[in-house]
Amino acid sequence: MKIHGLQKMTLLDFPGHVACTVFLGGCDFRCPFCHNYELVDGTAEPIMDDAELLKFLEKRHGLLDGVAFTGGEPCLHKDLPELMRKIREMGFSVKLDTNGYHPALLQQILEQGLADYVAMDIKNAPEKYAVTAGLETLDLAPVEESIRLLMQGKVDYEFRTTVVAEFHEAEDFRKIGPWIAGAKRYFLQCFTDRDSVPFGNLSAPSKEELEAYAAIAREWIPDVQIRGVD
């Protein structure tokens, strides 16, 4: 497996762990607000393979206790479960970031106990999902199946929405709330611009807007938190 990026240490990406973050290339979505679009469009060259990653981790025992997989979309890689297995056998905990569009692979990971934590994106309300993902049309059945799998509670998890002023409004959260009602936790992440974001002129919602959206979602999900706002 080709590795397209490696953050050697983070205290933020894997809750409760000192981890490294592994970036995998490729994605089936084209979100206009993506921070890692160089992984999506293939312009980021691989920096190592899975064997080199395992060698890196061998030297990090005692310094790291977790590995977070992100992208791009990690679940595009069918050999991901085997790499996760090897990493867990080395004594590290594993986190997976996913867009939820590959429920069969997610189910395999959950059933085999290969992830300790899963963070799944909820892009928007169902009728705005495709445009928010940068696509003309989108079958939501895989997303809904991944929601169902995570809410079975086989693994610790979160749902999260990156909130962009041009894509989200209060009514969206009145529809997202019932869709993931009873979820363990739900994070609203404030969009921040950077050079790698593919679509210009996007902006963050205000702190007051985020707090209002969180209050709406709490009608269905008790634990709703905000990230990215001081």
Residue ranges of domains in the chain: 2-227
- CB crowding 113-130: b at 16 or more within 10 Å, else e: ebbbbbbbbbbbbbebbb
pLDDT at 229: 82
pLDDT at 196: 61
pLDDT, tens digit (0-9, with 9 covering 90-100), for 85-119: 999 999 999 999 999 999 999 999 999 999 999 99
pLDDT at 117: 98
pTM of the model: 0.95
pLDDT above 90: residue 44: no
pLDDT-derived band at 42, boundaries 50, 70, 90: confident
pLDDT above 70: residue 66: yes
Cβ pair 101, 76 in contact under 8 A = no
Closest CA to 85 of 101, 63, 69: 69
pLDDT at 230: 72
Topology classification of domain 2-227: TIM Barrel (3.20.20)
